[in-house]
């Protein structure tokens, strides 16, 4: 199943049951577990990452990379602002809109360090919403000047909140209206560069395992620790990476590559995602265009090989401004 698929907690089960007649195609991406560990599971960031299967733990170089590895904002030079919007699973027969919006900013000073901010929203019409607010910092440390060995260390704090529509009974009265839930989560990230062209990364998310269950729930639902290991390959015109992502009892494999043309004016991207050791398989692709040194436009597409195939895929567009 596609990794974007939201596996709701037990507190949200009534929400979908209420709309089951209207949202029956959505069953492809709602999996109900007696104890769910998949809320706030969406690690996708901008369209560049989308096109590369989100395999960017080591080579992310845009402001939104703070969400998957806070150390990655050290890869930015100067200041950057990026905005992303995504339409997911286009073509559902019920015509419901499932979308994400993201805004990120980072400022990196080589001798001082980097700081970044990110806001992200996942929304299913007026039924369910998740918000991310992330603040992080990173510092690049030179280990060996002659061999250009470096290490970047980063950390971030995330404010996570979710909200659902009230459950309405057959008589039109509200049966249940779950209060908005807000929690903090903490991430750490490291990028080691034994050479400038082979970064190796480690990212650990949800270190404190916050309980995101409703206050009405008697059962705790703690977010799992997510560990990502990545190794990248960088050359003048090519970037590639392989990530291993460990989450609960799952092991995901992400592969991504990017080739640039015309001295960095055009980009072509591709990726492969094997979710839970090929339980779900997705192909990704994307393109990028840089009309100037300051402005970039990226597009990414993910299409499931296993999972919800009766859609037109999921699409993401990003605009980046460097200054």
pLDDT score of 27 more than 70: no
CB 74 within 8 A of CB 114: yes
Mean pLDDT of the chain: 82
pLDDT score of 30 more than 60: no
Residues whose CB falls within 8 Å of the CB of residue 275, separated by 6 or more in sequence, listed in order: 1, 2, 3, 250, 252, 281, 282
pLDDT score of 267 more than 50: yes
CB 137 within 8 A of CB 114: yes
Provide the token pair at 227: 């560990």
- Over residues 4-17, the pLDDT tens digits come to 333 333 333 333 33
Residue 146's pLDDT is 67
Residues whose CB falls within 8 Å of the CB of residue 27, separated by 6 or more in sequence, listed in order: none
The confidence band for 304, taking pLDDT boundaries of 50, 70 and 90, is confident
| 26-40, 107-121, 126-140, 280-294: the lowest-pLDDT one | 26-40
- Over residues 198-217, the pLDDT tens digits come to 999 999 999 999 998 887 77
Q: Is the dihedral of CA 205, 244, 318, 322 positive or negative?
A: positive
| Alpha carbon distance 24, 284 (integer Å) | 26
Residue 137's pLDDT is 97
pLDDT score of 21 more than 60: no
Residue 10's pLDDT is 37
Give pTM, 2 decimals. Answer: 0.82
Give the 3-state secondary structure of residue 47. Answer: helix
CB 244 within 8 A of CB 252: yes
Give the 3-state secondary structure of residue 141. Answer: strand
| 13-17, 149-153, 188-192, 286-290: the lowest-pLDDT one | 13-17
- Over residues 67-112, the pLDDT tens digits come to 999 999 999 989 999 999 998 877 665 556 788 999 999 999 988 8
Residue 5's pLDDT is 37
Residue 107's pLDDT is 97
CA neighbor of 57 nearest in space, from 229, 283, 300: 229
Residue 40's pLDDT is 73
All domains in the chain, ordered by first residue: 10-322 (2.40.160.60)
């Amino acid at each position: 199943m596609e990794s974007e698929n939201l596996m709701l907690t037990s507190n949200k089960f009534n929400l979908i049951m209420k709309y089951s007649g209207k949202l029956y195609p959505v069953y492809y991406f709602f999996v109900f577990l007696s104890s769910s560990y998949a809320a706030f599971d969406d690690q996708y960031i901008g369209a560049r990452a989308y096109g590369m299967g989100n395999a960017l733990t080591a080579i992310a170089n845009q402001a939104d990379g703070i969400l998957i590895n806070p150390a990655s904002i050290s890869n930015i030079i100067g200041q950057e602002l990026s905005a992303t919007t995504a339409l997911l699973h286009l073509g559902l027969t019920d015509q419901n809109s499932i979308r994400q919006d993201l805004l990120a900013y980072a400022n990196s000073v080589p001798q001082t360090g980097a700081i970044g901010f990110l806001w992200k929203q996942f929304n299913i019409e007026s039924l369910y919403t998740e918000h991310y607010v992330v603040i992080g910092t990173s510092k690049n440390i030179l280990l060996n000047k002659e061999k250009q060995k470096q290490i970047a260390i980063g950390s971030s704090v995330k404010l996570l909140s979710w909200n659902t529509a009230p459950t309405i009974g057959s008589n039109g009265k509200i049966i249940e209206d779950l209060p908005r839930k807000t929690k903090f989560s903490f991430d750490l990230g490291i990028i080691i560069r034994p050479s400038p062209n082979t970064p190796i990364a480690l990212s650990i998310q949800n270190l404190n395992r916050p309980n995101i269950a409703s206050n009405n729930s008697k059962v705790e639902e703690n977010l799992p620790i997510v560990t990502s290991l990545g190794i990248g390959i960088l050359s003048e015109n090519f970037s590639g990476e392989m990530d291993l992502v460990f989450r609960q009892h799952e092991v995901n494999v992400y592969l991504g590559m990017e080739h640039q043309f015309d001295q960095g004016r055009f980009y072509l991207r591709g990726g492969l995602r094997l979710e839970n050791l090929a339980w779900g398989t997705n192909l990704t692709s994307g393109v990028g265009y840089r009309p100037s040194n300051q402005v970039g436009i990226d597009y990414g597409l993910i299409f499931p090989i296993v999972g919800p195939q009766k859609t037109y895929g999921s699409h993401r567009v990003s605009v980046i401004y460097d200054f």
